Structure 1
């Protein structure tokens, strides 16, 4: 985890940070085949990072159906949701679970990421096998999600400060031109 934290801090962009978080998830979380990060603002899902097209399709399915563990983690502000076995009928996500199974997934976990007051995110972990994510994987996922939220916030702040400095420089140049006239 220490190596991951250093790697995340070394990224130059928000996107680079998020891409590295999902890559680390597939290495650090036992049984995790794919991972993604999405945000939900005013009910709209916005995918931010994904390790595969399957994850991008899963994000679209959650947006279209407005259901799924990751969508609900954000909208209900729950720390973690799981579907242990996508082969079995699932009462809460009766439409989402079969769609994800058709994509070849066997289980999924969604972890809440606090990103801003009006925008919440989720770290989504997918396994092709059912009943893959045990208690240790859930704990590791929650720790990773906590690191991801901090790294996401720090990267966003760093980018905003860089943008502000660039804007300040442009305003200074414009003022210089105006003063010269």
Structure 2
């Protein structure tokens, strides 16, 4: 398969993935194939500089990423915060990462190529390629990986945007459903029904969609009293 066909097929496959999480996992899988490396992984940056391993083609990739967090050094972190590309032909003796390099050499990793995942408006993280042999990545691999990262960054951005848009659409539908229930039960017009939801949201310091969800869930219990849900990291706790 030539490169143009490969990237076209990849773009179609990534577009068909139902969630951002699955899109990122497929990117790691494709990255390994595109560069013929032994393993690939993706580190993502979230709010407040939280960094996570979002995809890994093997357990040792996750271990490699964790070792960078522990030692506060490594090419994956540097690609996010420093230059866009970091490459090492021999991680065990690379002076840039004196603690991380020997640690991952024990995992069988000898070469690494890390490239920042970003669009013009946002940095998402880094794509990290690992090889078992010394000097595994040449100029051709770097060229392919650089092109690959551009496609991957756009795919990640689109997946996040679509997922965020779907959440907003679902919330709006839920609020509309709650409005309809209140209008029917209390003979309210749409504005007054929405104002009731908004007041409950402010009084209990929860998002409007949580109030709407409660109204919908308790539509058959007219005597129920609203209680604010326990919210952790923006999610309603189960139970």
Q: Same fold (TM over 0.5)?
A: yes
* TM-score category (smaller protein): over 0.9
CA contact (8 A) 1:40 1:71 kept: no
Superposed displacement of residue 45, structure 1: 2.1
Q: 1:40 and 1:160, CA in 2 relative to 1: closer, same or farther beyond 3 A? A: closer
Displacement of 1:34 in angstroms is: 0.6
- 1:170 maps to 174
Deviations 1:114-133 (A, max 9, x none): 16967530000000111010
Are the aligned partners of 1:43 and 1:75 in contact in 2 as well (CA < 8 Å)?
no
Q: Say yes or no: does 1:83 pair with 2:105.
A: no
Alignment of 1:39-118 (within 5 A): 39-41=44-46, 42-76=48-82, 78-87=83-92, 89-114=93-118
1:171 offset after TM fit, Å? Answer: 0.3
Q: Which has the higher contact order (CA 8 A, sep 6+)?
A: 1
Q: Taking structure 1 as the reference length, what is the TM-score of the superposition? A: 0.93
Q: Which runs of 5+ in 2 are unaligned?
A: 1-6, 187-239
Structure with larger Rg: 2
Distance 1:112 1:62, change over 3 A: same
Deviation of 1:2 (Å): 1.0
Q: Which residue of 2 aligns with 1:6?
A: 12
Q: 1:12-44 CA distances to partner (integer Å, 9 max, x unpaired)?
A: 1101110110001111113x1111111235443
Aligned equivalent of 1:122:
126
Distance 1:12 1:132, change over 3 A: same
Shift of residue 63 of structure 1? 1.0
Q: Distance in 1 between matches of 2:100 and 2:89?
A: 14
Q: Which runs of 5+ in 1 are unaligned?
A: none
Partner of 2:162: 158
